[in-house]
Structure 1
Amino acid sequence: MISALNRLVDLIEEHLTEEFDVDAVAGRLGTTEYHLRRMFSSLAGIPLSEYVRRRRMTVAAADLVRGDDDLLSIAIRYGYGSTEAFGRAFRAVHGVGPGDVRRCGGPLRTQSQLRFRLTVEGNTPMHTRILDRPAFRLVGHAARVPLIHHGVNPHIQRHIAALPAEEHSRLKSLGNAEPAGLLQILHDLDPDSTEGTELTYLHGVAIDTDTAVPADLDSVEVPVGTWAVFRTAGPHPQTLQAAWAATATEWFPSNPWRLRPGPSMVAFLERSADFSTATCELWLPVEPD
């Protein structure tokens, strides 16, 4: 995976002035666009699309400083149909307009070319099992919420708190498939995993495909597939979030699996009364790399 990401960075540099087809590049690198975007954003700390935009504007700034071409020619070179559109993109990256840079040479906020290196320190225990599961359904109460990488997500908290106590018991009684118990489910996640982007959060349970879905509940059909299940224990949600990050930085680069599209699920095996500590299982949909 690390070599694929470095080749991706090289290809971006070679095609900065062209439309970049991530899906085609992923196929050439022997992986999928979904997995490539997820791994890039997890390891680089920024979405792939944002990195491409920053690199284009970094190189475009050098063209402006040299002053060999007019502003419209530079805008067209980097895929913009007008100087106004180019100016907005340029200002979003550098904080100043193209005219300011042409006159004064800056200030500029440059994006250096990335280079990925794998350092596996083993500081995050990864208790993992790989499971093949038949098709099943996820049913419960859904809400659109923003993605938050660190700390408690208050939007999810409010969604869960709004459900009456008897509804939690009802959901538990409906569950009849793995993973067992009440689940925290993330669906429709942006492959770039950009903080603040919306996803579907489902507070619910897993049921088999023969069980009817109650009319008042939302549902997600989950096809047959393979799952990587990571067990965590400790302060919540910090331990769970650290393990989730470590799947990208340590586990996936070291194992012959890649993420596939599908919901991510968290099952709570044990927890303290105030939810400050918990033993969890993180279920991620995977396929052979």
Structure 2
Amino acid sequence: MDWLDAMNRAVDYLEANITEKLDIEKVAKIALSSTFHFQRMYHMMTGVTVAEYMRRRRLTLAAQDILSGKKIIDVAYRYGYETPEAFTKAFGKMHGISPSAAREPGANLKAYPKLSFHISIKGDKDMDYKIVNKESFTVTGKQRRITMVDGENFIQVPEFWDDCLKDGSYEWIGSKAGKLGLLGVSKDFGKDEFNYIVGVEEIKDTLPKGYVSTHIPAATWALFESVGALPEALTDVIRRIYSEWFPATGYQHDLGAPVLEVYPEGDKFSPDYRCEYWVPLKK
């Protein structure tokens, strides 16, 4: 339960510093995680990014401050808006009315509650996995630097796959696929960025311009199978890994190794399509 407690401590920290500039590195450290894994895990479990959670909570509390009689300009600055105009725009986007209209009797406002994490014990769906030790190997393919700011990674990674389809690199990489098939590799995690590779196991041919080869270290991996159309089926598996499997088993991420998505041949939009998600582990 240490992991679950750490996530709740991270939320408590966010709430205690709701009017301060978001320090995602510090929040991730409280959650016993890297910034990449914390942001990915948070989004998978809650459906919103950390930044979006903070925005909604600030605007929820801002509405309460306005109703209590505080000046709108003071409330705007308190919650990090540089101008009253920017605050009014954000307030209207969430609540559907202007800050001044919020003071009118009977005004409808929205409230986004503080989140908390807990394990939901259902017992109606097993989560199968395998633990595998794999020696180091090389992945070759196309690479792109992905940003995690405001959850952009959830947009940029699919766009990267689409770009590989359009420029022909997907077809070339796929023709070289080995036993594992096509791979999506997340690695080199920084504060707000990471490298993502669309590739395959080592290609012995001379690489065309624009392709890279990268070393994947030996690691212990947990392998989870996803059955169903992409990306929904895989997203559901990843969400369950973080919200159910990690808290239940006591394993932690090995942050020195990448996360792998393994895509065998087949119709990726079929309800029967099978792929795998590999998570590097430490006990």
Q: TM-score band (shorter)?
A: 0.7 to 0.9
Quote the offset at 1:143 in angstroms.
Answer: 11
Mapped pair 1:267 → 2:245: no
SS of aligned partner of 2:133: strand
Q: Distance in 1 between matches of 2:92 and 2:217?
A: 47
1:171 aligned to which of 176, 181, 193? 176
Residue 39 of structure 2 contacts residue 50 of structure 2 at CA under 8 Å; is this kept in 1? yes
Query: Matched residue pairs, number?
Result: 269
Structure 1: which 5+ residue stretches go unaligned? Answer: 192-198
Quote the offset at 1:118 in angstroms.
Answer: 0.6
Quote the offset at 1:214 in angstroms.
Answer: 0.5
Residue 42 of structure 1 contacts residue 245 of structure 1 at CA under 8 Å; is this kept in 2? yes
Matches within 5 A, 1:129-208: 129-134=131-136, 136-140=138-142, 147=154, 156=161, 159-160=164-165, 163=168, 167=172, 170-172=175-177, 175=178, 180-185=179-184, 187=186, 203-207=198-202
Q: Distance in 2 between matches of 1:63 and 1:44?
A: 26
Give 1:92's aligned residue.
93
Give 2:84's aligned residue.
83
1:14 aligned to which of 13, 16, 26? 16
1:65 aligned to which of 64, 67, 79? 67
Supply the AA of the counterpart residue of 1:108. L
TM-score by length of 2: 0.75
Quote the offset at 1:201 in angstroms.
Answer: 7.0
Give 2:149's aligned residue.
none
Give 1:224's aligned residue.
217
Give 1:54's aligned residue.
56
Q: Go from structure 1 to structure 2 and tell me whether the alpha carbon gap of 1:274 and 1:161 turns closer, same or farther (over 3 Å shift).
A: farther
Q: Go from structure 1 to structure 2 and tell me whether the alpha carbon gap of 1:52 and 1:240 turns closer, same or farther (over 3 Å shift).
A: closer
Residue 35 of structure 1 contacts residue 259 of structure 1 at CA under 8 Å; is this kept in 2? no
Q: Distance in 2 between matches of 1:104 and 1:50?
A: 29
Larger mean CA deviation between 106-115 and 158-167 belongs to 158-167
SS of aligned partner of 1:98: coil
Mapped pair 1:39 → 2:41: yes
Supply the AA of the counterpart residue of 1:71. I
Larger mean CA deviation between 52-61 and 82-91 belongs to 82-91
Q: Go from structure 1 to structure 2 and tell me whether the alpha carbon gap of 1:109 and 1:225 turns closer, same or farther (over 3 Å shift).
A: farther
Structure 2: which 5+ residue stretches go unaligned? Answer: 147-151
Give 2:277's aligned residue.
282
Residue 165 of structure 2 contacts residue 171 of structure 2 at CA under 8 Å; is this kept in 1? no
Percent of pairs identical after alignment?
A: 23
Residue 142 of structure 1 contacts residue 218 of structure 1 at CA under 8 Å; is this kept in 2? no
How well do the aligned residues superpose, as a CA RMSD in angstroms?
4.0
Quote the offset at 1:29 in angstroms.
Answer: 4.2
Q: Distance in 1 between matches of 2:268 and 2:255?
A: 35
SS of aligned partner of 2:77: helix
TM-score by length of 1: 0.73
